[in-house]
Structure 1
Amino acid sequence: MATRVRPNSKRCVVIGGSGFLGRHLVEKLLDRGYSVSVFDIRQSYELPGVTFLQGDLCDKQALLTALKNVSLVFHCASPAPSSDDRTLFERVNVQGTKTAIEACIEAGVQKMVLTSSASVVYDGTDIKNGSEDLQYATKPIDYYTQTKIQQEKLVLEACDKHKGFLTVAIRPHGIFGPRDPQLVPIMVDTARRGKMKFIIGDGSNVVDFTYVDNVVHGHILAAERLRPDSPICGKAYHITNDEPVRFWDFMSELLVGLGYDAPRFHLPYFLVYGLALLLWLLTWILSPVFSIKTTFTPMRVALAGTHHYYSCERAKEHLGYKPVVSLKEGIARTLESYPHLRKGA
């Protein structure tokens, strides 16, 4: 009878390792002595010692090849929240995650750390110091959130269903940092088009922004504490900078740091939200006839005009988490990394 090879506890696969968060995670894992492979639909960079395996997340055979003799999987793959492709979200976040779980169990993988999102409990209304005990959003603000809820449930429930397979979910919020393809580039593009002049609401709404190194730190802490006797099994954890800040103060600091004017004119929140909702409905009605896409959505208005910040107390208690980079330092590093986005560049 053949003896099954015990997976190397330091050998891991980062699913979605070509993305923004995934690449930062890969780099930190290498620093900590892990043997790292990346499984992704594309390869966006090269690193010495890292094996890249290109494949579709819904292709179980491709995943099984990648997971051979692996003990730990980080699942970071997801379409960008700004995408409006419902079919893609469903395929990657739901069907792809089901396939990944099946492949992990078949391959004998012991642990999975999922990159979830704090948005799974956000329905567009104020959240102040929200804990992980909040119920999932009953009216998710977009397809991304809707499928992230399904994804998180699948991963956490797998911990109870399959003996020997341990799972945990990390819920970051407002990730930013060097190489981010979303927040800063989109903000600068909007400013260059003269559309960053307005503050939605009175500007007092407080939110969490989280520097990417802190999100990576939370993932690795969770992986290293994920054991059969650990209270973190099958649980979700909020990971933030633990420094809630006014949304418009944060945005203004980035804009001014890159040479652009800070927004200064106020627009009533409910007026702007109502206009965005009308535009969204019109787009939906006309979608069978015209291919129309808009970035002015109710979801984006809600994110810019409501309170949404979260407690990290459970992560501090169970994971020993505390941010490794302050918000001030994170902003400075981010601004330094975008010389090509400065005004006049």
Structure 2
Amino acid sequence: MATRIRPSSKRCAVIGGSGFLGRHLVEKLLEKGYTVTVFDIRQSYELPGVAFHVGDLCDKQALLTALQDVSLVFHCASPAPASDDRALFQKVNVDGTRIVIQACQERGVQKLVLTSSASVVFEGTDIKDGKEELPYAKKPIDYYTETKIQQEKLVLEACDKDKGFLTVAIRPHGIFGPQDPQLVPILVDTARRGKMKFIIGDGSNLVDFTFVENVVHGHILAAEHLKPDSPLCGKAYHITNDEPVRFWDFMSQVLVGLGYDAPRYHLPYQLVYGIALLLWLVALLLRPLVRIKPTFTPMRVALAGTHHYYSCARAKEDMGYRPPVSLKEGITRTVESYPHLRKGV
């Protein structure tokens, strides 16, 4: 009887490796001596030694091909939270994740690290120093969050020490950094249209923003500490910069760094939230006739006007996590990476 050769622990696959977080993760894994395969719906770059597989997450055969001889899988594929395509969230975050788990199990993958989100416990009200023990949101703030909750449950419940399949979920919050196609470009576009003059609420609300390299560091630490006798098995971990900052101070630092004015006029939080809720309901009612996409959604108002920051104590204790890049340095490096978005350019 032939002996089955276990894949090398340094052979890994990054599902969603063409995205913002995925590319940073791939580059750091290569630095650390891993052999990396990327599976994504598109290929956005080339790197020596990286094998790219272009395919649909719901195509199990394509996944099985990409996961040949792989022992570790990072699953960070997800539509952008700003999307309003409910069917796409369901397909990628839930149906696709279910197929990822099946493909991993069939290929004998030993570890699966999921990129989840700290928003899985957020309902639009204040969270201060939130722990992982907080219950999942009963009323998620959007469909992205609703499907991320389902996704995280699927991955963590699939953990099976007896069968040699270990899983862990990383919950980052407010990822930013060079090459980010979302936060900074959207912020600058809003400023250029003259819509970044107002602060929602009194401006005192603290939020976690996490530099992308710190998120990558948390993923790799989790993978390397994920063993049958470790506390990581089937658990979720918050990964942040561990430096809560006033939401509007962070936005102002990025804007001013790029030459734009910081917002300075205050609007009452409850008033803005009420207007956003009304506009959202109107858009929902009119959807069969006309498609309206309000700029201010209840989710965006809640994210901008409430406290939501999380404890990294569990990650510190169980895997020795410490953010390598400070918030100040992360903002500086991010601003410097967008010379083309400076005012006047």
TM range (shorter): over 0.9
2:330 maps to 1:338: no
The C-alpha deviation readout for 1:151-201, integer Å capped at 9, x for no partner, is 000000000487210000000000000000111000000000000000000
Q: What's 2:235 paired with?
A: 235
Secondary structure of the equivalent of 2:71? strand
Encode CA deviations 1:217-269: one digit per residue, 9 max, x unaligned: 00000000000111110000000000000000000000000000000000000
Q: Distance in 2 between matches of 1:304 and 1:277?
A: 15
Question: CA-atom RMSD, angstroms?
Answer: 0.8
CA contact (8 A) 2:218 2:239 kept: yes
Q: Which residue of 2 aligns with 1:56?
A: 56
- Residue 31 of structure 1 deviates from its aligned partner by 0.1
Structure 1 equivalent of residue 173 of structure 2: 173
Say whether residues 1:116 and 2:112 are aligned partners. Answer: no
Amino acid at match of 1:33: G
Structure 1 residue 8: deviation in Å? 1.0
Distance 2:161 2:106 in 1: 14
Match status 1:211 vs 2:219: no
Contact 2:254–2:335 (CA<8 Å) still a contact in 1?
A: yes
- In structure 2, how many angstroms separate the alpha carbons of the residues matched to 1:220 and 1:6? 20
Match of 2:169, SS state, is strand
Does structure 1 conserve the Cα–Cα contact (< 8 Å) formed by 2:128 and 2:310?
Answer: yes
Cα distance in 2 between the residues matched to 1:163 and 1:286:
50
Aligned residue type for 2:26: V
Residue identity opposite 1:343 in structure 2: K
- Give unmatched runs, 5+ long, in structure 1: none
Distance 1:199 1:6 in 2: 55
For 1:202 and 1:299, the matched residues in 2 are separated by: 18
Q: How do residues 1-345 of structure 1 correspond to structure 2 at under 5 angstroms?
A: 1-160=1-160, 163-345=163-345
> How many residues of Structure 1 are paired with residues of Structure 2 in the alignment?
345
Partners of 2:117 and 2:210 in 1: CA distance? 12
Q: Is the 8 A contact 2:241 2:327 kept in 1?
A: yes
TM-score (norm 1): 0.99
1:188 maps to amino acid: V
**Cα deviation 1:272-305 (Å, max 9, x = unaligned):** 0000000000000000111222231000000000
Residue 35 of structure 1 and its aligned partner are, at CA, apart by 0.1
Aligned residue type for 1:321: Y
| Residue identity opposite 1:276 in structure 2 | A
Letter in 1 for 2:70: V
- How far, CA to CA, are the matches of 2:87 and 2:3 in structure 1? 42
Contact persistence 1:173–1:209 (CA under 8 A): yes
Aligned to 1:296, the other structure's residue is in SS state: coil
Note the residue ranges of structure 2 that are not aligned, 5 or more in a row.
none
Percent identity over paired residues: 82
SS of residue in 1 equivalent to 2:43: coil
* 2:187 partner SS: helix
If the length of structure 2 is used for normalisation, what is the TM-score?
Answer: 0.99
Q: 1:79-112, CA deviations, whole angstroms, 9 ceiling, x for partnerless residues?
A: 0000000000000000000000000000000000
